[in-house]
Amino acid sequence: MRSLKGSFLTVVLLTCLLASINAVCQELEPFNDRYCTTCHGADGRGNEGVQAPRLAGMEDWYLIRQLENFRAGIRGMHPQDIEGAAMQPMAAKLSDASIADIVEWADSWPAEPAGITVQGDVVRGEKFYAVCATCHGVHAEGSETLGAPAMAGQNDWYLVTQLKNFMADYRGNHRDDSYGQQMRSMARTLGDEVGIRDVVSYINTFAER
C-alpha cells in the first residue's frame, strides 16, 4: 500500500497535467494552511452566516494562544460548542510554522469594527462591565499582560456565543485552560442570557462604527 503511494501520486499529477481546460478537477490541490477566510470571511472580517468570528484586528498573542488551545484539544472539544468543534480539527493540522504564517497573514487584514447585531440594556450592561474592565480594560481594548483580548469591534454575536459557552461550561472546562476557567466563573456573574446581551450591548459602544 505504502509503496503504491508514490506511483499513485505520479498518476494523479500526470492526469492533471494532461487534463484539458474542460476537466472538472484542475489539478492536485496544493496544500496551504491559509484556509481561514473560507469561514472567517474576506479579510478575516467574520461571518455570521457560519458563526465564525472576526480575526482582523485580533491580537497576535491571543490568536496564537487560541490556535494552540484548539490544536491541543484544550478548546473546541465539548460537543455543545458547535463552532469550536468545527474549528478544532482544522487547528489540529497546523504546525508552529503554519500558525506563525496565519498570524502574519491576519496582520495584513484591515481591522474595521464589526456591525452591531445585538441589542440590550446598555445601562445595565455598564454595571456588569465593571468587573470585566479589570482585565479587558475600561474600553474593552484588551491587555496582553493580563492575557485578556480586546472585545471592542469584535462581532457581538460571537461575544454572546462565547459568554454563553463559558456560562454553560462548554468552554473553559479544560484543566490546562486557566484563562478559560477564569472566564467561566466571571461569565456566571452575568446571571443569564439577558445579562450577556446587556453587557455585549455596552461593549458595542466602544467601537467607532
Partner 1 sequence: MTDYVSRREFLTLLGVSGGTAAAILAGTALGLLPGGAAAATLDLQMAGTEQRRIAILGGGLSGLTVAYELSKRGYDCTILEASHRCGGRIFTVRNGDLIDEIGNRQYCDFDDEPHMYFNAGAARIPSTHRNILAYCKKLNVELEIFVNENKTSYVQDKSMLGGQRIRNIEYTTHMKGFMAELMAKALDQEDLNAPFSESEAETLLGMIRSFGDLSEDDLYRGSLRAGYATGGFLEHGVQKEIIAFRDLLKTPLGRVLISANEGDTGPMLLQPKGGMDKIVEGFLAQVGDKVKYRAMVASVKVGENGVDITYDQDGVRHPLQADYCFNCIPTHLITGINNNFPAEYVSALKYVRRGEAYKAAFQAKRRFWEEEDIYGGISWMNTPSLQIWYPSHGIHQDKGVVLGAYDYGGGMYHTRMTQQQRIEAHLSDGEKLHPGYGQLVEKPITVAWHRMNHMLGCSARWRRSFSRGWSYEEETHYKTLQQPVNGRHYLIGDQMTMHSAWQESAILSAYWAMADFNQRIPVTQA
Contact residues toward partner 1 (CB under 8 A) are: 8, 11-12, 15, 20-29, 31, 35, 37-43, 45-50, 52, 79, 85-86, 88-93
Q: Least Å distance between CB 174 and partner 1? A: 18
Closer residue to partner 1, CB minimum distance, 59 or 101: 101
Q: 45 vs 55, 58, 191, CA distance in Å?
A: 6, 11, 30
* Cβ within 8 Å of residue 99, ≥6 positions away: 64, 67, 68, 71
* Cβ within 8 Å of residue 59, ≥6 positions away: 142, 144, 149, 150
Residue 91 cell numbers, joined: 487547528
Q: Least Å distance between CB 89 and partner 1? A: 3
Closer residue to partner 1, CB minimum distance, 50 or 138: 50
Q: Least Å distance between CB 52 and partner 1? A: 7
Residue 88 cell numbers, joined: 478544532
Find, among 143, 100, 161, 169, the residue nearest to 152 by Cα: 143
Closer residue to partner 1, CB minimum distance, 91 or 132: 91
Q: Least Å distance between CB 168 and partner 1? A: 17
Closer residue to partner 1, CB minimum distance, 12 or 131: 12
Q: Least Å distance between CB 47 and partner 1? A: 3
Q: Please give the full DSSP string across 56-93, using - where no structure is assigned.
A: TT--HHHHHHHHHHHHTTSSS-STT-HHHHHHHHHHHT
- C-alpha torsion sign, points 17, 23, 25, 30: positive
Q: Least Å distance between CB 128 and partner 1? A: 27
Closer residue to partner 1, CB minimum distance, 76 or 172: 76
Q: Please, where are the H alpha helices in 93-138? A: 96-107, 122-136
Closer residue to partner 1, CB minimum distance, 87 or 150: 87
